Chains A and B, each alone.
Chain A
Amino acid sequence: MLQVRLHGRGGQGAVTTAEMLSLAAFLEGRFAQAFPSFGSERTGAPVVAYARIDEKNEIRTHEPIQAPDVVLVQDRTLLAVVDVFSGIHPSGYAIINTTEKPEDVVPELCKQLPPGHVLTVPATDFAVQAMKMNKPGAPMLASLAAATDILKLESVQQSFQTRYPGKVGDANAEAAALAYNFLKEAIKGGK
């Protein structure tokens, strides 16, 4: 079972992102679960959401994820406020929404995880470019798809298009494609 923890701020759609991650996995025929860390939701406040994917078994547990295989950070400013990488698996992945390079943002984590497992992506830039909003969820999931074999880009796109049929879903799909191509290029370039 693969466990993903998402960190964002209220209003950026972290909870929806987790749900779309589960839907994308479901569309690929797998078992998946997503749930938020419940609190008094306020715009701008730190938000945590979780997702689990299992290849073939029903997911029974309902405990919050303490040892994630993947951490997605939707807002770079959280790095100074929340211990977002707490409990991350030694060979796990971390993806951070920023224009900066991983070794400049989280040098310690880069040493801790295997090479290429800490990635940065300007997800907000892609979201604003495609849909004029800071909803970095689709580009973040597309980055996860680009960096690992966990998901296909098409499933990520389809999940958003299922939830938001029409323009909004298409714009999310476009933002996802921008991030996917960016990260595939970055990985090819050995960055």
Chain B
Amino acid sequence: MSTEQIEGSLGVAKAVSLCKPGVVCAYPISPQTHIVENLGKFVKSGALKHCEYLNVESEFAAMSVAIGSSAGGVRTYTATASQGLLFMAEAVYSASGLGLPIVMTVASRAIGGPINIWNDHSDSLSQRDSGWLQLFCESNQDAVDTHIMAFKIAEKVGLPVMVCMDGFVLTHAFERLNLPSQEQVDAFLPKYEPREFLTPKEPISIGSMVGPEAFTEVRLLQQRKMLSSLQVIEDVTKEYREITGQHSGGLLDCYNCENADLKLIILGSSVGTAKDEIDRLKAQGINVGLISLKAYRPFPYAALKAAVGNSSQVVCVERAFSFGARGIICPEVKRALEGTSTKVCTALAGLGGRAIYGSTINGIVKHALDGKFKDEFTWFDIDTKVLNSYTRNALGITFPEGPIAESELEATLLRA
């Protein structure tokens, strides 16, 4: 174990390097670029040996190369973000369909248009149904550890893993990181031994066409693998924690959840900010629990139900939503809590890099305790001045100060 004060991206590059990938393919896009830049340096300097580093011409090529090398039986890593993830989407689905244990960082960033380079979760969550595991990181330490666990999880399950870390907020933050030693990682993550792989010595073909006679069954078996990953994530997390003494990974993590009647569910880097605010609220006699949701795919319905317990209210703080629908996390939470009387809603905040402050969390808690979340979906951190500066003249309507519930937005259609 070594302790260093380094950028999150460098920490992740070091973690990936400790896993000894045989191929790293990279196409730069902010905010993930520093990760693959550092890996390129490691390969060039010889710090990362027996690794082919490929500069490719696009994200689509990056995932295509990753598919080729992983199918060839080689531990493979790549990274992307935002539009880059969308550009590789076709191949993203192929990778999971082929059951290839590729590990990919998504340095989460908003999707345009309008173009926006800052952090939210619209890119990673857009690949919800891609058949990849999606593991979210709440800190750079969590990111370092989750990447190392991701290779083991991917290879045990036989599916690719996306490690989602907040772009800029984590990737560009300089923090104290504990990196496991090469010996520790070697003991934890054995050499990759694929069950079957492409080799000219014994030619086989993989990924051939499957027609209506078996496509459903192929999908069912893919889902079976995905379901098996819940236990694998828990087992691998337990093993990693025992070896390193870190407290990273897992399906979810609870903070101050005992006897908390109100719980927040948060993914990513706002978890730390929320923990500090929860401590401040506790000092004022307000008890709020926090569930840091680590695994979004597979979705840990049972673990989440247990974590929520008999709380009467849960607010999902979401950094992406579905146009024409509502939140993306909230419906999953509702499924997990079906048959209970817990009220679940979404506070949409932090889109396109709008910072989530402790005060934002405080506002969400007070809103919830005052019973003000009247709809399932609320635009929480709206800048009313910015909004009204347009709508006043263009639409002839204005919004009152503060959060906007979905029904209030709908009501403006009648006023216009």
Report A's interface with B, CB cutoff 8 A. Answer: 18-19, 22-23, 26-27, 31-36, 38, 40, 58-64, 66
Main SS class of interface, A: mixed
Among A18, A27, A59, A60, find the residue whose CB has the most chain B CB atoms closer than 10 A: A60
Given A26-B5, A60-B139, decide whether A35 and B275 contact each other with a Cβ distance below 8 A. Answer: no
Is A38 a contact of B273 with CB atoms below 8 Å? no
Chain A residues with Cβ below 8 Å from B272 are: 59-62
Residues of B in contact (CB 8 Å), total 27
Within 8 Å of chain A (Cβ to Cβ): is B49?
no
Given A61-B273, A61-B358, A62-B270, decide whether A34 and B176 contact each other with a Cβ distance below 8 A. Answer: no
Within 8 A of A (CB), among B180-202: none
Is A32 a contact of B273 with CB atoms below 8 Å? no
- Report B173 CB to chain A, min CB distance, Å: 4
Within 8 Å of chain A (Cβ to Cβ): is B355?
yes
Q: List 23 A-B contacts (CB under 8 A).
A: A18-B174, A22-B5, A22-B175, A23-B5, A32-B5, A32-B174, A32-B175, A32-B176, A34-B174, A35-B169, A35-B174, A38-B168, A38-B353, A40-B117, A59-B272, A60-B276, A61-B273, A61-B358, A62-B272, A63-B273, A63-B355, A63-B356, A64-B357
Report B's interface with A, CB cutoff 8 A. Answer: 5, 7, 31, 117-118, 139, 166, 168-170, 172-176, 269-273, 275-276, 353, 355-358
Given contacts A22-B5, A36-B168, A59-B272, 19 further A-B contacts (CB under 8 A): A23-B5, A26-B176, A32-B5, A32-B176, A33-B173, A35-B168, A35-B172, A35-B174, A36-B172, A38-B117, A59-B175, A60-B139, A60-B271, A61-B272, A62-B166, A62-B170, A62-B173, A64-B357, A66-B357
Considering the chains assembled together, what is the distance between the CA atoms of A33 and B8 in angstroms? 11
Among A34, A38, A59, find the residue whose CB has the most chain B CB atoms closer than 10 A: A38
Considering the chains assembled together, what is the distance between the CA atoms of A34 and B168 in angstroms? 11
Considering the chains assembled together, what is the distance between the CA atoms of A63 and B170 in angstroms? 11
Is B175 a contact of A38 with CB atoms below 8 Å? no
Considering the chains assembled together, what is the distance between the CA atoms of A38 and B33 in angstroms? 14
Chain A residues with Cβ below 8 Å from B173 are: 33-35, 62
Which 6 A-B pairs have CB atoms at the shortest separation, nearest pair first? Answer: A60-B272, A26-B5, A34-B174, A35-B173, A38-B168, A63-B357
Closest to A20 in B: B174
Considering the chains assembled together, what is the distance between the CA atoms of A93 and B303 in angstroms? 48
Considering the chains assembled together, what is the distance between the CA atoms of A31 and B4 in angstroms? 11
Chain B residues with Cβ below 8 Å from A22 are: 5, 174-175
- Report B136 CB to chain A, min CB distance, Å: 14
Chain B residues with Cβ below 8 Å from A40 are: 117
Closest to B271 in A: A60
Closest to B139 in A: A60
Closest to B167 in A: A38
Is B7 a contact of A33 with CB atoms below 8 Å? no
Closest to A27 in B: B5
